[in-house]
Amino acid sequence: MKLDLKKVVIRPAGSMQILSYKEASQLCDESNEGLNEIFRRCTLAVLNTGSKEDDADVLLAAFKNYQVHVLVKGRGIQLEFEHPPQQAFVDGEMIMGVQEHLSAVLRDLLYAKNQILDNPSFNLNHSQGITDAVFHLARNAGLMKSDRDPNIVVCWGGHSISLDEYKYAKHIGYQLGLRLFDICTGCGPGAMKGPMKGAVLGHRKQRSYKPRFIGLTEPEIISAEAPNAIVTELSILPDIEKRLEAFARIGHAIVIFPGGAGTMEEILYILSVLLHPKNKDLPFPIILTAPLGSQNYFKAVLVFIKNALGQEACNKLKLIIDNPIEVAKQVKEGIQQVRDFRRASKDAYYFNWNLHIPFELQQPFCPTHDRIAQLNISQTQPAHELASTLRKVFSAIVAGNVKSETIQAIKQQGVFKIQGDADIMHNMDLLLQSFVKQRRMKLGTEHYEPCYEIITHSV
């Protein structure tokens, strides 16, 4: 393939070389029912791997002439790119990892639409139907390996982190790699890239040449946040809720680094799951960790969690500061407990069927001004239900920071107004102020303009 500054044609890797005319037309369809626009956004993000931009509109504006076309040929399909980012090429050839990620986008968008979302065999109005859908999506992406003991460590954290925090995430990854753990993250930069980069060296020092670096994302996120180049297994889930469930189902432990609103959303999600009475005795190690100098991030998070959800929620989390070896040891010990539990309960190592995820947590939450105003942010409900509600608040803030449709809605209707119990609102305000002060809310923002207003009086 020869590089043309205006037009590049490639064949997707693997089975994605063969598509039907219907599938190709879906990728070219610019109507609301078609996939062309989201396919265009996702492929642009993949081609822009390595970018520090986290605003899809800014990325689209920088490549306003970018287009992708799907051409059905006798020997398979071709992807034709007009005005692609040049960083995706080396000496006129597209980087192999970029080609693999493009194939993953192609595979997952088509499979999700045709085999899951538009398939009446999957009852997406029922909890078990959604879990079955997540299972099929993960299996189709090749994420589940039946011949491995539990060893997948999910790493969450911010993409907008300091250099010290990034180096610390690499040290954690190195220690995990030395213990032959595979890494699963949201596939972006920062705390999602650091553990993977460190684990590469750890695995190589152990002469382990087939480590797994799994990246789970969804169309709106990948459109704004390019996947990092270390990811070897990329999967695009249809929405944030199925992505979060995939983390919980295929992961065996979670290590959480400092982040912002998105990391807080993930913490509240997993707490909502683990606080549910049906998951009371189910082992699932969750470790919060940060380098010395960044411990105030988690101190603020834990103060908020304790005040809103109680000490039981804090007990689900283990805080370790500036000690990568201890983090890795605790992960190893926790995963051994997971293995023993799965073996005793005859649950699969590769997919956590025993984990109960409430239907409310599985429903796609589209943050609108009305929905945010109607949230019941009150301690008159069980802790796991309040955690679920609080997770929606932070999901809305993430959307208001990076998602195009939400940003536009805020421009038209004003900021989200978040209100509830006075004590919860006060502590939420303090927590968000700490995020802003630490510049964790939006990558590259000198002066953050909040997409929300916290109303601290009681409703």
- State the Cα–Cα distance between residues 333 and 350, nearest whole angstrom: 18
Burial class (CB in 10 A: 0-12, 13-18, 19+), 96: exposed
DSSP assignments along 93-124, one per residue: EE-HHHHHHHHHHHHHHHHIIIIIIT-TTS-T
Averaged over 81-85, what is the pLDDT?
89
Locus of tokens 């991030």: 297
Measured CA to CA in angstroms, residue 375 lies from 210, 231, 288, 400, 420 at distances of 46, 36, 28, 17, 8
Tens-digit pLDDT profile for residues 323-373: 999 999 999 999 999 999 999 999 999 999 999 999 999 999 999 999 999
User: Which band of pLDDT confidence, cut at 50, 70 and 90, is reported for residue 35?
Assistant: confident
Q: Does the pLDDT at position 458 exceed 80?
A: no
CATH topology of domain 145-359: Rossmann fold (3.40.50)
Average pLDDT, the chain: 90
- State the Cα–Cα distance between residues 448 and 429, nearest whole angstrom: 15
Locus of tokens 């309040």: 386
Q: Give yes or no for a contact between 327 and 170, defined as CB atoms under 8 angstroms apart.
A: no
Averaged over 99-113, what is the pLDDT?
92
Specify the pLDDT at position 8: 83
Specify the pLDDT at position 76: 67
Q: Does the pLDDT at position 444 exceed 60?
A: no
Q: Which CATH superfamily is domain 7-115 in?
A: MoCo carrier protein-like (3.30.1850.10)
Specify the pLDDT at position 78: 82
Averaged over 268-272, what is the pLDDT?
98
- State the Cα–Cα distance between residues 218 and 134, nearest whole angstrom: 13
Q: Which residues of 358-377 are buried (b: 16+ CB within 10 A; e: fewer)?
A: beebbeebebebeebeebeb
Specify the pLDDT at position 459: 44
Nearest-5° Cα angle at 437, 432 to 443? 90
- Element counts in the chain: helices (H) and strands (E): 18, 14
Q: Give yes or no for a contact between 40 and 68, defined as CB atoms under 8 angstroms apart.
A: yes
User: Which band of pLDDT confidence, cut at 50, 70 and 90, is reported for residue 384?
Assistant: very high
Return the domain boundaries, the chain.
7-115, 145-359, 363-455
Strands 213-217 vs 93-94: parallel, antiparallel or unpaired: unpaired
CA atoms within 13 Å, Cβ hemisphere of 327: 33
Structure tokens at 404: 């195009």
Structure tokens at 381: 């409900």
Averaged over 274-301, what is the pLDDT?
96
Rounded to two decimals, the pTM is 0.92
- State the Cα–Cα distance between residues 221 and 95, nearest whole angstrom: 22
Contacts of 366 (CB under 8 A, 6+ apart): none
- State the Cα–Cα distance between residues 201 and 208, nearest whole angstrom: 10
User: What stretch of H or E contains 299?
Assistant: helix 295-309
Q: Give yes or no for a contact between 127 and 241, defined as CB atoms under 8 angstroms apart.
A: no
Q: Does the pLDDT at position 310 exceed 90?
A: yes
Specify the pLDDT at position 3: 47
